[in-house]
Structure 1
Amino acid sequence: MAKIIFVNRFFYPDQSATSQILTDLAFFLAEESHEVHVITGRNIVGEKVTKLRRTEIINKVTVHRIGRLGMQSPALVSRSLDFISFYWLGAIQLIKHTTHRSIVVVETDPPLLSIWAWWLLRTRQVRIINWLQDVYPEVAVRFGVRFTRGRVGDFLARLRDQSLRNAAANVVLGSRMAAYIESRGVPRASIRLIPNWVDDRAIHPVESGANPLRKRWGLGNKFVVGYSGNLGRVHEFETVLAAAELLRDHRDLRFLFIGGGFLYEGLKEALRRRSLDKLAIFMPYQDQSELANSLSVPDVHWVSLRPEFEGLIVPSKFYGIAAAGRGAIAITEADGEIAQLIAAHKCGAIITPGDGAALADLLNLMIVDRALGAAWGRNARSMLSAHYSRTQALDRWSQLIRSLDQDSPKATG
């Protein structure tokens, strides 16, 4: 069986999104008798200081933890130091543990790990899989990060393209991401589409009347519009805010926000300034054991992605919403990744970013006709079971690993 080395800044027991799917995959492949190692950081998202052992074996996976120990900060200087520490100490671990015929799987935290791994392993006979959770440096460029503008950004993109072309496989999360990577000269044969997943056995529909959180949070028979997870820079809340303005006097409506993120406090403040906070309920991230209940509290969820990030990022929270048997309102481009799934499977609606009036009209309709949201939810769960289940995703990964393990390794070039 193969020796597989994963590289990502976060891993179990961290509960961030990329950590959870990496943990799922690493444990699964270890159960298939592969030798699995993970090179990861020493911190947990949202915790000040976490004393995790530098090396330990968890569920047959050997974990090597590196880097600075301390509070995770969004500040540019702090993040840069975290990244530099990870690149340097991770290089030592990667060279130490990579052997002939190893398969190295790198995610995208910290950014541009594909360049890092390709350069470190360029003379070794190993197979590299780039697992693209997002596409850098383009994401940074569109954020307006000064360092990545102009010639520097172009140079990094060319290096990134070369690293992807020299990889054994490049796993992407959606069809638009696949098309973008191919447009950069990456061979189509090396691109594998494997969407992210959730544990659809643990996350399942919970009827409103039987949901303990709905009662605990005082929602009763209100129509609940939910957002769950990270509300970050690639998202927007202005459309929802505009709809809330138009619906401010609706007694049967509540907006529920569960989670956190860069925009979270700004949204709270914007609602307060407009005296709309009576319509909103804010809750922290919920424990994984509560996700079936928390994701089932809303009658409908909303997801958003700023149009300039389509093809570079996929809002994978959509799959958790579907697992809970709830429909989604996509505040995205009409031909965006999630919008296309919603249209194809009739499990929600699409709202043009900025069109708060259209969103308000839709919510007014759904409050009156609650059967519409229920039908979307049934369709969403059916879609997930048929095409995007955890079992299907892990099986696709297993097939990819087996196919590469049978190939003769080549120097990465």
Structure 2
Amino acid sequence: MIQGGVLGVIGSKLKRAKLIYNIQDFNPEQTEAVGYSKNKFILKLAKKVDCISCKSASQIILVGRDMEETLIKRLSKKNIKDVAIINNWIDEQEIFPLDQYNSNVVDFKKKYNLTNKLTIMYSGNLGLYYDLENIIKIADRFKENNQVIFAFVGDGSVKDKLVSYAEGNGLDNVVFIPYQDKADLNYSLNAADVHWVINAKGIKGVSVPSKLYGVMAAGKSVLGVLEHGSEARRIIEEANCGICIDPGDYEGIYEALLDIIEGRLDIKATGILGRRFLEANLKKEQSIERYKEKILQV
């Protein structure tokens, strides 16, 4: 957040302290990517302000390797003092694979009519940065297959449009589920067979979808709609925990769904590989230790 950077700079000056700037998303680049604002003056001013925060920091911590490329574009290498890449995390002791016969998972499936169906789930913010208004149209091509269901769990600015499209086109293969309490999140994630991890075109280097870590922790296969070189896509490809398609390639997404539905992608095996990779490389404690290390170095 730009405001957070500004407050950090002010605080560091008042306290004569060093500033560590943890950037979760780059703005205004995120706003620009989805065309949410086209006011060039405001966007340019906002970027300039945030660049001052970046230059003022003794250390910058980013959550993806692709974000470092964005930082270099902004400032050039000579103006960057110290940068660390530390991935976000999920608590892998709270989110973990459950047997399909687990009573809570079975109850969740019954409640939302997912029983005995291949469930393709999107779980999280139904917002502007995920191209969901176009993604849902692909579900239309599978509405005659009563063995497949598309579940959208969560809420957000485009939910009403998604519901309207599903109802207007008779998509009985689409279900909307409210946000789940933290205590029930593991059952919700485990109720799916495959999870979407999506960023709209232009978000590479700007933001990393943290939902990926929960999907991997639950041992579920990933259907990624992500740009080449983006942090989430790199992790999926390194872990071999799913399949990735470029944003905007709707025919490619349809073909990937066919591969999943017709069994050409081993979703159980790829899910296991995701959990294994997370345990080896992306545990909560590993990231926290890296934060401790970097903070103590400043």
Q: Report the TM-score, using the length of structure 2 for normalisation.
A: 0.91
CA positional deviation for 1:317: 0.6
Q: How do residues 15-30 of structure 1 correspond to structure 2 at under 5 angstroms?
A: none
More displaced stretch, 122-131 vs 282-291: 122-131
Q: Find the counterpart in structure 1 of residue 270 from structure 2.
A: 376
Amino acid at match of 2:280: A
- Taking the aligned partners of 1:135 and 1:337, their CA distance within structure 2 comes to 14
What do residues 3-40 of structure 1 show as CA deviations (whole Å, max 9, x unaligned)? xxxxxxxxxxxxxxxxxxxxxxxxxxxxxxxxxxxxxx
Contact 2:34–2:202 (CA under 8 A) maintained in structure 1: no
Contact 2:127–2:158 (CA under 8 A) maintained in structure 1: yes
CA positional deviation for 1:284: 0.8
CA positional deviation for 1:214: 2.2
* Count of residue correspondences: 293
Determine if the alignment matches structure 1 residue 221 to structure 2 residue 113.
Answer: no
- Aligned pair partner of 1:205 in 97, 101, 124: 97
CA positional deviation for 1:142: 3.6
- Taking the aligned partners of 1:137 and 1:268, their CA distance within structure 2 comes to 29
- Taking the aligned partners of 1:307 and 1:347, their CA distance within structure 2 comes to 22
Contact 1:197–1:390 (CA under 8 A) maintained in structure 2: yes
Determine if the alignment matches structure 1 residue 165 to structure 2 residue 78.
Answer: no
Q: Find the counterpart in structure 2 of residue 269 from structure 1.
A: 164
Determine if the alignment matches structure 1 residue 136 to structure 2 residue 31.
Answer: no
Q: Find the counterpart in structure 1 of residue 187 from structure 2.
A: 293
- Taking the aligned partners of 2:14 and 2:92, their CA distance within structure 1 comes to 41
Contact 2:67–2:206 (CA under 8 A) maintained in structure 1: yes
Q: How do residues 82-93 of structure 1 correspond to structure 2 at under 5 angstroms?
A: none
- Taking the aligned partners of 1:287 and 1:274, their CA distance within structure 2 comes to 30
Specify the SS of the correspondent of 1:230.
coil
Q: Find the counterpart in structure 1 of residue 173 from structure 2.
A: 279
- Taking the aligned partners of 1:168 and 1:341, their CA distance within structure 2 comes to 28
Q: How do residues 59-98 of structure 1 correspond to structure 2 at under 5 angstroms?
A: none
Determine if the alignment matches structure 1 residue 325 to structure 2 residue 215.
Answer: no
- Taking the aligned partners of 2:266 and 2:3, their CA distance within structure 1 comes to 43
Specify the SS of the correspondent of 1:136.
coil
Specify the SS of the correspondent of 2:129.
coil
- Taking the aligned partners of 2:284 and 2:11, their CA distance within structure 1 comes to 32
Specify the SS of the correspondent of 2:197.
strand
- Taking the aligned partners of 1:374 and 1:145, their CA distance within structure 2 comes to 38
CA positional deviation for 1:392: 0.6
Q: Find the counterpart in structure 2 of residue 313 from structure 1.
A: 207
Amino acid at match of 1:261: G
- Taking the aligned partners of 1:400 and 1:289, their CA distance within structure 2 comes to 32
What do residues 195-248 of structure 1 show as CA deviations (whole Å, max 9, x unaligned)? 111111010011222223223333222100001111211111244323212111
Q: Which runs of 5+ in 1 are unaligned?
A: 1-107, 405-413
Amino acid at match of 2:9: W
Amino acid at match of 2:45: F
Amino acid at match of 1:197: W
CA positional deviation for 1:371: 6.8
Kindly, what percent of the aligned residue pairs are identical? Answer: 27
Amino acid at match of 1:181: L
Determine if the alignment matches structure 1 residue 115 to structure 2 residue 6.
Answer: yes
What do residues 363-412 of structure 1 show as CA deviations (whole Å, max 9, x unaligned)? 233223287111110111011111111111111111122222xxxxxxxx
Q: Report the TM-score, using the length of structure 1 for normalisation.
A: 0.67
CA positional deviation for 1:159: 2.7
- Taking the aligned partners of 1:153 and 1:355, their CA distance within structure 2 comes to 28
- Taking the aligned partners of 2:138 and 2:297, their CA distance within structure 1 comes to 50
Q: Find the counterpart in structure 2 of residue 149 from structure 1.
A: 39
Q: Find the counterpart in structure 2 of residue 191 from structure 1.
A: 83
Runs (4+) off by over 6 Å = none
Determine if the alignment matches structure 1 residue 256 to structure 2 residue 151.
Answer: yes
CA positional deviation for 1:330: 1.1
Greater fraction of residues in helix:
2
Amino acid at match of 2:153: I
